[in-house]
Structures are given as C-alpha cells and as structure tokens.
Amino acid sequence: VAGAILPLVAIGGMVRLASDEISGVADLAMGEPKQVRPKQVRLVQPAIPQNEKWNREKRPAHLQRLIELSSGTLPIPQLVIWPETAFAGLLGAERELFTKTVASALPYDGLLVTGVPRRHSRFLLLNSAVLVQPDGEIRESYDKQRLVPFGEYFPFRDLFPFATAIVGPMDYRHGTSRTPFTLQHYGLVQPLICYEVIFPGIVSQTEPRPDILVNLTNDAWFGGTPGPYQHLEQARMRAVEEGIPLLRVANTGVSAGFDAYGRTLARIDMDQAGFVDVNVPDPLAPTFYAIWGETLLSIGLLLLAVRTINLDRKRSLRQ
C-alpha cells in the first residue's frame, strides 16, 4: 500500500510543477481559479545594506528611498508592499515619522503592508507586519510566530545567566494569532514574515483560507551566499502546495511574485533597488495538500514500517 501511495504523491507534485506545459491537466487535477480578476500590487525593494539598516542617522534617507520607489510611476496601485522591518524604528517611539512617511508614499485611497518592530513590554519586542492607511492608522497587524533561535530570541534564557551579557536583555516575542488581513478587492491577505515561509503546512493552519500570501523578509544578512535564492525557492513552494499566489518582498532581494502554480509573475534581483507592479491572479481551489496535508504520507510511511518489520520477521523465521 505504501508503495502505491508514495508514487501517487510524487506524480501529483510533478504534474503540479509542470503546469506551464500541461496546464489543462493541472487545471483538471487541482481545480480552476475561482475567478479571473487580476489585482495590481506594487512590490518595493529598497536594497539597504545590512550594515546601514539600523543606523538612526541614515534612517531619513532610507525612508526617502522607500517613498520614491513607492511613488515611482503613476498610477500607483492601491496596495503597496514594503519588506520586513522596512521602518527600522520602534513604531511606538517614532509614530509621527512613520505616519509622515506613509502619507508621502501612498495615494489617497492606498494601503500599505509593511514590516515594523513594535514593543510588547520592557524587554520584549514584536516582529510585525501591519496594514496601514494613508493617514498612518494601523488597520490590522500580524506578529511573527516562528522566531529564529539565537537571532530573535535566546532559548531558555533563564537557565543561562550570562546570556544578557552576550546578546543583551531584549528578545522578540512570538505572535499568537494567524488571521489574514481583509482588503477590499484583494480579498484575504496572509503575511508570513521571513523564514516562516519555509515551513510546509503553515498556511493550512490559517482560517479562513487566504487569497494572497505575502512574505516580508530581509535577506541582506545572507551576504553573497546561496541563501537568498534558496529562501526564494522555498517561498515558491508554498504557493504551489497551497494553490495560492505569493508575493515575496525583500529588503535586498530576491523579491518576486508567483501565481498559484509557482510561475514567476515578476522579479527584482539581488541587491537591486527598485519596484515592480504585479497583477495577482486569484487562487485555485484548495489543493490536495491543502486539504490532506501530510496525512497520506504519514500513513504510507507507517505502512512501509509495518511491512519492513513483517519482512524481517519472515526472514528470521526462515533462518
């Protein structure tokens, strides 16, 4: 049985990824899009070097770059997206500057999804994505749930009294709710911050099912390694496995838009400052993976283990 299930899962994945060439088969297997009504979004990649990103003196210049890229070509789409921690100051402490920046970047009816750090308590921060109106009012927010150990928090800090002396007293706190943003015309938009996007099945835990996935990230700290490109391909897989278009917006690459089949809609390469407008198609009907997750794979592995044990027993009896 396991031998039958595992090949079927693999064949399904190959059909899905080959949809450029056999889109008719893929449409029958995975379901037609609910409707064809592209929604335009502007992705902004500021390409700020990691060694400058948290420099307070350079923050006005960084924000001016975001403003210029966001309003670079008219008309400006209703939805503009900036990367993770695009506004590098604490939101509560620098709210006036944040409001002024947003007002300068958006049209009167525009909306912005951006990453911002927020304070939760004295020694705890939140790595957040926020949906912002042109007047700077935050309509909705999402706090990152999958934090990077030692990068965003020190595990078991209480057991290591020397931790504060090494990494400081501050940690990020994980979020507790995964609810999509609601945007008129765009539908339900689910943020995924940085490496949250590498985890299979994370979107299937979201209710209701989103129409667009948005991955905000900062890959500058990877440097010249393959990391940014690996991160990009892992993000693409979330679009394929869930049948939901994904927009990836990075501080310094690679930013891209993918449709529900994982096909590239637009792209800004590594270390390039720029923007690109993406016409985002609607999602497909829920995929096999979105419905079943890894249930059949788990059953197949269990049956394979049982079969292996039985074969070992038979060999032992023959001996």
* Catalytically active residues, by annotation: 84, 144, 194
Beta strands in 51-174 (DSSP E): 79-81, 111-121, 124-132, 138-143, 171-172
Return the exposure string of 189-218: e unless at least 16 CB atoms fall within 10 Å of the residue's CB, then b.
bbbbbbbbbbeeebbbebeebbbbbbbbbb
Reported for 23-27, long-range contacts at CB under 8 A and 24+ positions apart, including other chains, are 23/261, 26/261
Three-state DSSP state, 232 = helix
Q: What's the alpha-carbon Rg for the chain, to the nearest Å?
A: 22
- C-alpha span between 242 and 75 (Å, rounded): 31
CA-CA-CA-CA dihedral for 283, 184, 101, 95, to nearest 10: -110
- C-alpha span between 104 and 72 (Å, rounded): 12
In the structure encoding, which two tokens stand for residue 211, read together? Answer: 């129409």
- C-alpha span between 245 and 254 (Å, rounded): 16
